[in-house]
Amino acid sequence: MRAPRNAVLLALALVALLALLGSGFITHAPNRLVSGTPFTLWNAPGGWRAGLILTLAVALAAGAFLTPARHHSATIVATASLLLLLLLDTAGVAARDFAAHAPPAARAGLGAAFWVASLSTALAIIDALQRARANPALRFAVALALAAAILALAADGRLDGLSLAREYDVRRSAFAAELLRHCALVAGSVFPALVIGVPLGIFAARKPRSRGGLFAVLNVIETVPSVALFGLLIAPLAALGLSGVGPAPAIVALTLYALLPVARNTEAGILAADTAAVEAARGMGMTTGQIFRRVELPLGLPVFVAGLRIVVVQTIGLAAVAALIGAGGLGTFIFQGIGQYAIDLVLLGAVPTIALALAADFALAMMTPRMGQEP
Amino acid sequence: MIELEHVVRSTGGRRVVDDVSFSVPAGAFCALVGSSGAGKSTTLKLINRLVPLTGGAIRIGSTDVASLPPEALRRRIGYVIQSIGLFPHWTVAQNIATVPRLLGWSEAKIGARVAELLALIGLEPSYAARFPRELSGGQQQRIGVARALAADPELLLMDEPFGALDPLTRTALAKELALIHRRTKKTIVFVTHDIDMALELADVIAIMHEGRLVQFGAPLDILERPASDFVRAFTGGASLGLKLLGVRRVADRIRVEPTSAGEPVEPSASLAEALSEMVVRQTDRLPVKGENGAPGGSVRLSDLVR
């Protein structure tokens, strides 16, 4: 047998296969609070689907032996996408089938096999796109098509039987409000962090002697655990006449956390245009404005946007913790779920938080200016 | 022509450039030499006003450099630096087109000029679409020279342009620069601390020491009549004789006599090259080609030391 051309794909496909063969695909529980009994893909209802899922997973493993070529990568992306959607649809069908024969309080949850197999499949898609050196537009198209297909499955009611969907169903309006709230918290912290952090970064780049002290302070802030910082802010904010709980301390804390990466990457962006290029630009008669627009900005912006991606993803994640001090957001469901020991409610908060972070990161990556643009 | 008149630059109470006056005729290659800290780089930057003048005046042709906005002045002057400073996010063609674009040339004119310059520096047209990071150091500095020449400036300022390159590349680029100078007839002011490169390339040499101009003259002039012990030590030292051989030309030592056997050498060759040929051919006499159709002659070993 030949050595695999793509060891990553082979590993991912094997992990997915092992998980599907050896662990529970879907879980059944008499109510939402107790852990469910796992059922493997074979024992879960779904008929021909189990066979097709296994066939596609084996096909993916076989894909690892194809010679690296763009059309092969396209086949792998298509196969993996189909597998991902089929996993989701099968889980939905199995859950609906179970719900039809069980009392209303019973729940059908997603098992380990589902999570491992879908994650491996998603990684296989990303890996294939990277190997094919797909341009950003194509990556965007693939991501959009997958998101649209998943939303279509949900809108069609095919996933309604799943516990996660039922948790969502009873909190439909709260979910929309908390999602918006989460986005508002993120925007409300990243924006002031930019307003304060960008000038700090410019200052650090222009005055190297001030750099050490400035970043020492920002580093210390960064090391305070988030829960502690939320708590520490209650007293000073109350002294200022602001509520120590709710969105105010959350936004202050999230802004403080975002300052370090914003300032660091602003500084790095400015220093990215090497001094020789700037000296040459000046010597050839560019004005200060032209040097900034044609040399410093195009060389520094990719570095800055890369930093902004980190800031936004970090803030989306941290904003979930802000629910602890009553700031709202998707973290509300996570902490409610932990309090009630209802894992599906935790997922209702966690999965959209992750999706939001991925979507924001992806959108900013698409906007990153690339080297070699027209002057 | 470029003229420096009692030029002074002081900073922090110290005169970095102290009352320097000299003039370079149009089309001449002037080397500004001296040890580090002598003020040669600062003098160069005073010309395109990257460093402001403290006193005195600089004229290019009949234009006082202070009478123009600095950006307009710099667009009329080519500028090449040791660290090259190509724009990493632009292709070779875009880099070369920097100043023409600042001057608002048409795309067609820019395209033609880029092609012309790539040919001048001996790079294939396919290099136009490459990025600086794909090129060797020598190729990058060739692009640096092409970029400086792009808008056809009357004056080219070069600040240790080959200082960061390996010796082989440096020699090759110096030869190319001599060719480019002969072809384009630009006035060049070239800062270097390498006296051998100055002797080889320059029509006139300005030697600076501690901010002052200590001697200004043709290479042969400076070697034969050093103005001070410093100049003598700086230019020749123990190897003065060899340097003189490198500067003097065969044409000045030619004997009109029947040519001897063997491949004749060019009259424009240096005496050092002639000596090298004699050693290789194991002879004390070389045939020399006639200059401008004149009958040739020969040069003898004893002529070299006259």
pLDDT tens figures, B183-242? 989 999 999 988 888 988 999 999 999 999 999 999 988 888 889 988 988 887 777 778
Chain B hits for A296, Cβ within 8 Å: none
Same domain, B231 and B273: no
Q: What is the predicted ipTM?
A: 0.82
Chain B hits for A280, Cβ within 8 Å: 79, 81, 84-87, 144
Same domain, B227 and B257: no
| Chain A, nearest residue to B131 by Cα | A372
| pLDDT tens column, B253-290 | 888 877 777 888 888 888 888 888 888 888 888 888 87
Name the residue range of residue B16's domain.
2-237
User: How many angstroms separate the CA atoms of B156 and B79, rounded?
Assistant: 6
Same domain, B252 and B161: no
| pLDDT tens column, A8-31 | 899 999 999 999 988 889 888 888
- Determine which of A274, A278, A279, A284 to mutate to test the interface with B (most B C-beta atoms within 10 Å): A284
Question: Is A299–B86 a contact, with Cβ atoms under 8 angstroms apart?
Answer: no
Q: Closest Cα of chain A to B224: distance in Å?
A: 37
Same domain, B154 and B260: no
Question: Is A290–B102 a contact, with Cβ atoms under 8 angstroms apart?
Answer: yes
Going from the C-alpha of B278 to that of each of A355, B247, B265, B302, the distances in angstroms are 82, 17, 11, 12
Same domain, B203 and B294: no
- In chain A, CATH 1.10.3720.10 sits at 172-367
- CB-based contacts of A332, cutoff 8 Å, min separation 6: A174, A178, A323, A349
> Average pLDDT of chain A?
86
**pLDDT number for residue B293:** 65
For residue B21, pLDDT over 90 is answered with yes
User: How many angstroms separate the CA atoms of B136 and B227, rounded?
Assistant: 41
Question: Is B91–A372 a contact, with Cβ atoms under 8 angstroms apart?
Answer: yes
Q: Closest Cα of chain B to A22: distance in Å?
A: 51
B41, B53 contact by CB (below 8 A) = no
Same domain, B62 and B149: yes
- Determine which of B87, B134, B143 to mutate to test the interface with A (most A C-beta atoms within 10 Å): B87
Which of B237, B264, B294 delimits the end of a domain? Answer: B237
Same domain, B252 and B232: no
Question: Is B102–A286 a contact, with Cβ atoms under 8 angstroms apart?
Answer: yes
Instruction: Report the domain count for chain B.
Output: 2
User: Where residue B298 sits, what CATH number does that domain have?
Assistant: 3.90.1280.20
**pLDDT number for residue A252:** 87
The residues in B 38-67 lying below 8 A from A, measured between CB atoms, are 48, 50
Encoding tokens for residue A273? 């245009």
| pLDDT tens column, A271-292 | 887 788 999 999 999 998 999 8
Same domain, B168 and B282: no
User: Where residue B102 sits, what CATH number does that domain have?
Assistant: 3.40.50.300
Question: Is A290–B89 a contact, with Cβ atoms under 8 angstroms apart?
Answer: no
| pLDDT tens column, A306-359 | 889 999 999 999 999 888 888 888 999 999 888 888 888 888 899 899 999 988
For residue B46, pLDDT over 80 is answered with yes
The closest CB to that of A283, out of B48, B72, B88, belongs to B48
User: How many angstroms separate the CA atoms of A116 and A110, rounded?
Assistant: 11
Chain B hits for A285, Cβ within 8 Å: 70-75, 99, 102
Q: Which class would CATH give A172-367?
A: mainly alpha
